[in-house]
Amino acid sequence: MAETVTKTLEATLAPPTQGKEVRLRRLLSTYREALDDAFDSGADTMGGVSDVVTPFDLPYQAKAALCSYVPKLRKTYNARELDDEHPLRLTNQAATFDRDESRHYEICWNVPLPGYGTNFWIPLRLNPEQEPLWHDLLDGDAKAGEIRLQQNRSCWVLHATVQYEVSDPETDG
């Protein structure tokens, strides 16, 4: 019998070019503005949050994550206010990665941006202890969940929730 295990993988984005840095900051800032507006509106359903966040210039993966997250903040966590440092949340549809062993940073993430043809690839610096799980994700042996992107002082950190099956250990009697 197999059991589903959930883990959060962590990677640091390779230092982005100036143009990519600007786009990442804009994406995070717009997300936080949409989160604040949706929370302040009092919306507590996915549809209510959707009405608030639809006009924002965000990728659909961020809007869908907000539609799920804001009602959870109210109903599950009874939140009364928001932290200013909320990470950018994206649905699992943003879990688009590429692997090429010939690159310095083997795995890259396709950063979703609003609009057609605006996404960009950015290399990931993996936590070495989690590298086998990243490969499981890329090989289809693990399923991606929510993705979070946070800016820390001088770097960007990506968290990807993954689920994978593990076999129960066989017991002898």
Q: CB–CB of 38/52 below 8 Å?
A: yes
| 55 lies in some domain | yes
Six-digit token pair at 141? Answer: 């042996």
Compute the distance between CA of residue 139 and CA of residue 97 in angstroms, rounded to an integer.
11
pLDDT of residue 6: 92
Enumerate residues 6+ apart whose C-beta is below 8 A from 71: 43, 44, 45, 46, 48, 49
More confident: 147 or 168: 147
pLDDT of residue 153: 85
Enumerate residues 6+ apart whose C-beta is below 8 A from 57: 30, 114
> Does the pLDDT value for residue 162 go beyond 70?
yes
Q: Is the pTM of this model over 0.85?
A: yes
pLDDT over 90, % of the chain: 76
| 39 lies in some domain | yes
Q: CB–CB of 112/121 below 8 Å?
A: no
* Average pLDDT over the chain, rounded to an integer: 92
- pLDDT tens readout for residues 114-152: 988 889 999 999 999 999 999 999 999 899 999 999 999
Compute the distance between CA of residue 91 and CA of residue 65 in angstroms, rounded to an integer.
5
| 173 lies in some domain | no
What residue numbers bound the domain in which 98 lies? 2-167
- pLDDT tens readout for residues 23-44: 999 999 999 999 999 999 999 9
Q: CB–CB of 12/24 below 8 Å?
A: no
Total domains, the chain: 1
> Does the pLDDT value for residue 22 go beyond 60?
yes
Report how far Cα 60 is from the mean position of its chain's Cα atoms.
12
| 172 lies in some domain | no
Q: Average pLDDT for residues 93-108, to the nearest whole number? A: 93
